[in-house]
Each structure stands twice: as C-alpha cells, then as structure tokens.
Structure 1
Amino acid sequence: MQLHRGRLIDHIQLVVADLPAAKRFYGAVLGALGLPRCGEGDDHVWYDELYISTAESKAAMGQLTGRVHLAFQAPDRGAVDRFHTAGLAAGGRDNGAPGERSYHPGYYSAFLLDPEGNNIEAVYHGPAKFSARSVVVDF
C-alpha cells in the first residue's frame, strides 16, 4: 500500500444504488486508463483513491451520493478514446465524444454518464510543461 502526499484530493466515495452496474462501468473505464481494481467486498469496490459503495455499507451511512463530475487523468489521447469506447460498452451513456476542448490548447477529453448519472471524464492535457510535486510514502 502507498500513501500519496501533495495531492488536493485524498479520496472520493460514491454511494450508488446499483453496485454491480457501477463495478462493470468503473472496471471498464478505469481499466482502459490502466488503473486496476484495488479491492472489493459485498458492498463496495475501490480503485486507487475512488471508493464506491452501496448505501448499506458502513461508510455510506445510508445516503446515496448526489450527481458529481469526476475527471480522470489519461496518459495519452488513445487512453481517452479507449475510456469512451469501454464506458459505452459497459453501460455508460455518451456525454461528449473524444475530442479537443476549448479549456486550453491540447486539452483532449471525453465525457460519459455512469449508470447513476454522474458526469465522468477522461482528460489528456498534452505533453507536460511542468512537474507537480508529489511525495509517495510506502508502508
């Protein structure tokens, strides 16, 4: 297990009504981005810092998550394309085909609605022009 320091977000939890659908969708889109499943149980699954559970799980306290927008970093444009294709095949709905966006030069992304209606994006920002400070602590 690794603890990452220097990031804005430590972890995110999505509480969903249909965990099997979420497992199919997130397994497909995150797999397309090269991110493996870290673990799962009867009422949850997690990938890196994303934790997905049922409302009945201890951590959820009985409440579903409201609609959110999550954007995952992609290593290249091809990964964005694979994310979109895999997500559609796994029950996602198109919310913006892969392509350049006007946010900044080189911003290439795709958007999907997951089975719960969340806006899920994969984005490639183009070749890195800076390096972010991040500390990784193994334990």
Structure 2
Amino acid sequence: MYLEHINLVVSDVPAMLNFYQAAFPHWSIRSEGDSDWNGKPRHWLHFGDDDYYIALSDNGVGENRDLSGHQTGLAHFAYVTNNLSATIERLQQAGYSIAKPGADNPFRCNVYFIDPAGFEVEFVEYLSDIPSERNNDL
C-alpha cells in the first residue's frame, strides 16, 4: 500500500500549478476538467507522473489554517528528493522563499516552503538508507 495522491481544495489553481511545476519539472497535467462538487462548480486537475499526483480543485473558500497555531488540520506534507539543492534552486528561481530550514541532522537535509494556498510543504533528501537514522530526532 502507498499514498497515490493528495487532493487540495484551493482558490487559485494556476498559482498552485506554478509552484508545483517548479518543484516537479518532470510532472505534467495528467487530466483536468470541470464538474460540480456539492452544488458548486469547480475546475480540477491532476498534476503528477504515472504513479503519483496532486489533485487541485479551484472551489476553495476562505484561508488555510494558521500554521503557527494549534488548530486541527494538516500540518505539512513532505516529498523526498535526491537533490535538495536543485529543488530549492528551482523554487527560488520561480519566486518562492524557504519558509523555514529543517533540523540540523547528519542523516537528512530538509527545508519547508509555503505553497500559494498556504500549505506547508517539506522537501527532504535522505543521507542514509537506514529508517531509524532517517527518522531520528537529533
């Protein structure tokens, strides 16, 4: 079993697509269309590769949760990269800044960005193949 996709309801799909295209230049729009969700029209798209994708829908209302607060909701999600420096460079060239650096850890390097919808996204490069080292809390 594995996680195939996440589905994010946002207010600005093109802005989100810009962010994720910078992070994943090898991904593409797999499909898109228009539909109705609980009585409200929406435009949606699936952005990814043959195995994984992000589903985006444009019928979001309001703001995302305050990431510095303690409200129930999504804290962040993370993507593993084999080249964190290249990922950071692509996102910064597209106009996005690192929101916070990751922990100083000998077994991983990571950073956090905030996407245009206000979701915190972690990008991590593991420097070990040993799960207990990858997930330690040094």
Bin of the TM-score, shorter chain as denominator length: 0.5 to 0.7
C-alpha distance in 2 between matches for 1:72 and 1:64: 26
Residue identity opposite 1:87 in structure 2 = L
Q: Check conservation: 2:79, 2:124, Cα contact below 8 A.
A: yes
Q: Give the gaps of 5 or more residues in structure 2.
A: 34-42, 66-73, 132-138
RCO comparison, higher one (Cα < 8 Å, 6+)? 1
Does residue 70 of the first structure (1) align with residue 77 of the second (2)?
Answer: yes
Q: Check conservation: 1:16, 1:65, Cα contact below 8 A.
A: no
C-alpha distance in 1 between matches for 2:117 and 2:95: 10
Residue identity opposite 1:71 in structure 2 = A
The structure-2 alpha-carbon separation of the partners of 1:126 and 1:46, relative to structure 1 and needing over 3 Å to count, comes to same
Q: Give the gaps of 5 or more residues in structure 1.
A: 1-5, 56-61, 131-139
Instruction: After TM superposition, list the pairs within 5 Å mapping 1:9-88 onto structure 2.
Output: 9-31=3-25, 35-41=26-32, 43=43, 44-47=45-48, 48-55=52-59, 66-67=64-65, 68=74, 69-75=76-82, 79-88=83-92
* 1:93 alignment partner, SS class: coil
Shift of 1:90: 2.5
* 2:55 alignment partner, SS class: strand
The runs of 4+ residues in structure 1 deviating greater than 4 Å are 62-65
User: In angstroms, what is the RMSD of aligned CA positions?
Assistant: 2.5
Residue identity opposite 1:101 in structure 2 = A
Does residue 123 of the first structure (1) align with residue 130 of the second (2)?
Answer: no
Under a length normalisation based on structure 1, what TM-score does the superposition of the two structures give?
A: 0.64
Identity of aligned residues (%): 22
Question: 1:48-98 CA distances to partner (integer Å, 9 max, x unpaired)?
Answer: 23212211xxxxxx66784541210112xxx2112222222324332124x
Instruction: Give the paired residue count.
Output: 109
